[in-house]
Every structure is written in C-alpha cells, then in structure tokens.
Amino acid sequence: MTTFNDDQLIATIQRDPNSPALRLLFNRYRPVLTKLQRVYYIPGHDGDDWEQEGLLVLHGAAQKFQQHRSCNFGAFYRLNLTHRVFDLIRYSQAQKRRATTISLEANRTYFAETLHDTRVQLGTQLEAQEAVGRVLPGLSPTEQVVFRGLLGGLTPQAIRQQEGLSMTRVSAAMHRGRQKLRRLLGE
C-alpha cells in the first residue's frame, strides 16, 4: 500500500473510512500539520490534540475531495486544517470572553468609589476585568457574595434581602472588598 499514490489512497479512504490508507496518507502530510503547529498556538492543545485534529481534518478532507474540482490534495488539506485551527483559536478566545464578562456600566457607582485612587487609572474594560478576577479569590465568602451582587447590578439593600444579611454586614463587606481591591491595584 506504500506504493499507492494520493489519488489511490483517497479513493480507498472514500470506500472504507477505517482503511489503513488513512494513516498512510496522514503520515505523508504530517509536515503540513507540523508547520501549522509551529506557527499557531491553540490554548489547551498539546501534541496529541494537534495530531487528533489533523487526523480528523484529513479524514474529512479525503471524504470531500473531488479530483476534477481540485488538482492538489495537499493544498486542499492545508486549507481545511488551517480553517480548523482558526476555529479552535476563535472558540478558545470566545470562551474566555464569556467567562469573565463584567458590566462596568451597571456598576459605575461602585467602581467610581472603589477606584478613586489617582495612582490607578483603568483605561480599558479588560484591565478592570483582570483586577476583579485577581481580587475575588482573596475575598471572604461574605465579601464575595456582596462583591458579585454589586457586579451583577444589585443594590446593597437588594443584596441584604437576597442573602439574608444585616445591612451592617453588607456595608462592612463592601468596605473590606473595596480596601482589598485598592490594595491590589496599588501594588
């Protein structure tokens, strides 16, 4: 089977997707995968993940490849694999954005009071999100509940009612949370 050309291997794969021809064709086009792996970084993907993605894309490309429409299988595979890499990168970045989105507009008063320190000027929403993400693990459970409530657009009174806390406890947690955020930003 090693003496078969690409067209013969592709025809074999199209007839029998479990054929050893798939692995043989993949080994021939491994340099395409290796080059893309050196150029692009996909968060959370190691060498085995890259190989699995490359094999899946090769399988799909072999199934879809039509000799009369395209003259070079290598270029067709490289295009399909590049598009898959871009999709994986986009997906990983989209997940991050969704997980850390904080509404600064809904919490304008809180951030104005908290970030009053003139040494600290947050120029972008991304910097504020990073600061909030760094301060949260250092807050007590009550401070986290109050902080998240404020970030979610709740008033201190609404947090008090929702969590069953006294107004004194909510105010103290707000004050301690602000101090910790200021300390973190002052570093």
Query: Distance (Å, rounded) from C-alpha 12 to C-alpha 109?
Result: 66
pLDDT tens track for 29-64:
999 999 988 988 887 788 889 899 999 999 998 888
SS3 1: coil
Contact 129, 100 (CB under 8 A): yes
pLDDT in the model for residue 31: 92
Long-range pairs for 148-153: beta carbons < 8 A, 24 or more residues apart: 150/107, 150/110, 150/174, 151/102, 151/103, 151/106, 151/107, 151/110, 152/106, 153/103, 153/106, 153/107
Q: What's the pLDDT band for 74 if we cut at 50, 70, 90?
A: confident
Confidence check: pLDDT of 170 > 80:
yes
Query: CA angle, 33 as apex, 29 and 39 as ends, to 5°?
Result: 145
34 half-sphere exposure, CB direction, 13 A CA radius: 6
What is the residue type of 167? M
pLDDT tens track for 98-150:
545 566 666 667 666 666 444 444 455 667 677 778 888 888 899 888 888 88
pLDDT in the model for residue 84: 92
pLDDT in the model for residue 80: 92
